[in-house]
Structure 1
Amino acid sequence: MSRKITVIGTGYVGLVVAVGLADFGNHVIGVDIDENKIENLKKGISPIYEPGIEEYLTRNLNSGRLKFSTEIDKAIQESEVIFIGVGTPPKENGEADLSYVFDVAETIANNLNDYKVVVVKSTVPVGTNRKIKEFIKEKSGTDNFDVVSNPEFLREGKAVYDFFHPDRVVIGYESEKSKEIMEDIYRSLYLIQTPFVWCNLETAEMIKYASNAFLATKITFINQIANLCEAVGADVHKVAKAMGMDGRISPKFLHPGPGYGGSCFPKDTKALVEIGRKNNVDMSLVKEVINANEKQKERMVEKLEKYMDLKDKKIGILGLAFKAETDDIRESPAITIINKLIEKGAKVIAHDPKAIENAKKIFGDKIDYVDNEYKAMNDADALMIITEWNEYRNLDLEMVKKLMKGNIILDTRNVLDRKKIKEMGFVYEGVGR
């Protein structure tokens, strides 16, 4: 049966969840305090760049199953299920900031007019769902509700696809009533035989952190192997391919590069270390992953310095987003790399198909921005590819040669044909090759 659902927060997670649940046939209200964002969403304009999102947004708005509002109290009162999808940014010490989550929990407590299922989608430290339950119970004076932990595993740039084709759905629950309601909500995924993992609240919370920390570890591992390949004369791509053929290892996330970034891995690895510290468990491996990842970003600038003194040099940057198919630059390797270049006295000219407006919020006028990849290399002493956008894979090398003043190309994603580039007289530097 169709359920009445409110999704609080319309960022990456909240918006994808809202359109996805509406597409499953539920009646969904997406709620946010940002009036401008809500007005745009009502018109079918997404606040984020995410392939496929506006098509689903328009379709479900037109069907009447999806609405957006700033009236949070009314939305909660009218709904049976409340999804919390607000941010949990890192504090200075790496611990997750839960203030937004508990602000929402208080609002829910003030509007418990009937039985509700409170579903926590936000990534929260182990033990938080139980604290939310106690907090709402204390504030509302009733226990006529259930709290469910339902962590998300959405990849930015593939979030819409991932919502409809998940590897698994993890649900931490305590009552059979809440389990039945969650089964109802996700019935469409049952029909395509998606695996469901039913567990307690703490296990669901831990699955999210453990998954992200493991993937971050895998990226960091192949980056360190890539660095060693450079030193000994091996090819990391062949190494990674052969490793990936082992069913126990798999080829996913074995792609060398300038380090991981984004809204999840940096935040969640730091939070996991902090959870370990609070529980007297040494997360030494994850700590080293965090350190090694930062060094990998800095190493990209050191690679360039082998060829030139960066002072007063013009460096063309291709890619600002932390990965392709997103406009998100949170913790992007490009930020560390560009800041280092500026520190060394270089002049930076940057291009990205989607992330320039977000980059301006960070760099302001410290760097120049261009609307075309070839403008970024005009008169450049060196060119750096930082994000693996498809349009950078097939650059017109004759044009590149004509435009650049220097001949150094640092391809941090290994997207270019090394042999072809060297034949044209460029000095090519990849990662682990």
Structure 2
Amino acid sequence: MMGKGGEQGECEKAAAVYSWEEIQKHNLKTDKWLVIERKVYNISEWMRRHPGGSRVIGHYAGEDATDPFRAFHPDHQFVQKFLRPLLIGELAPGEPSQDRDKNAQQVEDFRALRKTAEDMGLFKADPVFFSLHLAHIILLELLAWFTLWCFGTGWIPTILTIFMLATSQTQAGWLQHDFGHLSVFKKSTWNHLAHKFVIGHMKGASANWWNHRHFQHHAKPNIFLKDPDVNMLHVFVLGDTQPVEYGKKKLKYLPYNHQHEYFFLIGPPLLIPIYFTIQIFKTMVDRRDWVDLIWCFSYYTRYFYTYIPFYGVLGSLVFLNIIRFIESHWFVWVTQMNHITMEIDKEKYRDWLSCQLAATCNIEQSFFNDWFSGHLNFQIEHHLFPTMPRHNYQKIAPLVRSLCSKYGVNYEEKPMLKAFRDIVTSLRKSGDLWLDAYLHK
């Protein structure tokens, strides 16, 4: 029997039952329901106050959100107090726990795998590991300054300083990524401050901007309109379906059949120095995020105070943009090698395991690959367990491979150089699909 909405007490809400057919109707802009552990919640009003942003929770409207809920919330007991007022009922007894004919046994086996990881203590972060990583970043910053102070601003010390600062900035990017996802310290307040310090004071960016953008990517990776990382603003066409759609509609904002060539001129050089910088400041001002803005200004104050004595105002601006130019190349190649070569499409309503594996691949493990990519070479494990600290990815990886093998889910791993080549290959393939559709009458 279908339950009715309206003002009810919590006991009455819990007694109401709903079918998947009814729940899936509540997937509108201002009317969103979702299911967690067979309980039905109305998040229509709450999502605007959701700490992770309205979009990341709204992307699961009309679906079973049990696995993403567990993936993003390490302290389930704490979150329950926010869920209770949103409870409106539960799935009807005859309804399956999974929507849209998802493989229930595969879902249960993945949850058993997560429980195994919890029992193994793989979600416990080692503060020493992350403290040493932060220390090595600060050491690079100090060595960069010391090189100029000792040897002056000649070509060799300048090049060495640029290399060290670009390395420290990139490694700080991987570290803030860790702090953004998990609680490294026992008190989350300290973890929150550490994240603000690394991304704000050490990189000149916004923690809230990153969280709201990046968590959407994790919730629905490579899904158009849900993952901001595949929103290319008509600059590139990605995957197999978007190029054909653009071609059939005769959309030609750029010559997409050459996107694998102009990628080198637009993607790596401009993402951080231009696009991200503008977007970060615009977001902070639009949202009146003055705390992040203060952290951001602390970075620029420290930077210019340090380097204006060596290079002057104009020289320091050029110096900064050269560093970000190099960092941007490093960042783009590492982040795109895991995703852009995989399936990029519209929503297909897969279970958590299948959704993440369709959009994600790994790069072979080695000491250099771990350091160079900030352990993002273990992208599959990171996407399945985003709150797991990076130093434990290699421990859970064999169990993930085994589960994927059991259900025939593709677990793709490749050498890093091949992954870089595949970025260009995938862009060329999508460009050719666009051209064929564009020329077809």
Specify if TM > 0.5.
no
The structure with higher relative contact order (CA 8 Å, sep 6+) is 2
Higher percent of residues as helix:
2
Task: Give the structure with the larger strand fraction.
Answer: 1
Superposition TM-score, scaled by structure 2 size = 0.27
